[in-house]
A and B are shown apart, each in its own frame.
Chain A
Amino acid sequence: DGGITQSPKYLFRKEGQNVTLSCEQNLNHDAMYWYRQDPGQGLRLIYYSQIVNDFQKGDIAEGYSVSREKKESFPLTVTSAQKNPTAFYLCASSIQGRLQETQYFGPGTRLLVL
């Protein structure tokens, strides 16, 4: 079945630690996105990529980094510079990132700070 997978489902981070969230899609989509969701808030865009080896900052990129070495994969690293990382992280993809396209989402990763 085609879709978006995210792992792990839950992730625990210690102080000063970098952690990486995985996002893989087999939809053959060019564009991929990372969002952060906090309780009672809408989604906020962290980073997005419309093509391999290229990505752009979203609205809240500070403290995060990404890579896009393969079309299928768009991992997100939460660095120690992100002081409040506890949140629900959602990965999404769309065909080419054009205006009219729908974004489809993965199941999410919940990050908790120990």
Chain B
Amino acid sequence: AQKVTQAQTEISVVEKEDVTLDCVYETRDTTYYLFWYKQPPSGELVFLIRRNSFDEQNEISGRYSWNFQKSTSSFNFTITASQVVDSAVYFCALKDGNNRKLIWGLGTSLAVNP
């Protein structure tokens, strides 16, 4: 069965600290896609990144970076030099060929304090 686990329910950091949000997934399919979304207090889900199972290259976008490791079924998200505006709930999600619906983790609530 497909599953996404975000073990960290809440994280609190001080501004400028680096923070890593963990995501572990389960799937038996060889073709799948992983996603990260940000949900700020306003509620709207903002798409951050999509990664397919055949591309294990890490990605960097400004202060954001993602580490995809198939060997450990993980797709972790790091924010470098965090800012107060990064405070939000972050969701990791999985979509595979067996179940084309998005399977969501429960989210990690990140609080960045000034």
Contacts and interface: CB of A to CB of B under 8 A. Distances in A.
A-B complex is real: yes
Nearest to A107: B44
A42 B105 contact: yes
A42 B97 contact: no
Nearest to B92: A42
Interface string B34-63: 010100001111110010100000000000
Nearest to A108: B43
B47 A102 contact: yes
B77 interface: no
23 contacts: A40-B106, A41-B106, A42-B91, A42-B104, A42-B106, A43-B91, A44-B104, A48-B101, A58-B101, A88-B43, A90-B43, A90-B45, A97-B100, A98-B100, A99-B33, A99-B100, A100-B50, A102-B47, A105-B45, A105-B46, A105-B47, A107-B43, A108-B43
The 3 closest A-B pairs by CB, nearest first: A42-B104, A105-B45, A107-B44
Interface of A: 40-45, 48, 58-59, 88, 90, 92, 97-100, 102-108, 110
Contacts of A44: 104
A4 B47 CA distance: 13
A92 B102 CA distance: 11
Contacts of A45: 101-102
A88 B95 CA distance: 22
A43 B97 contact: no
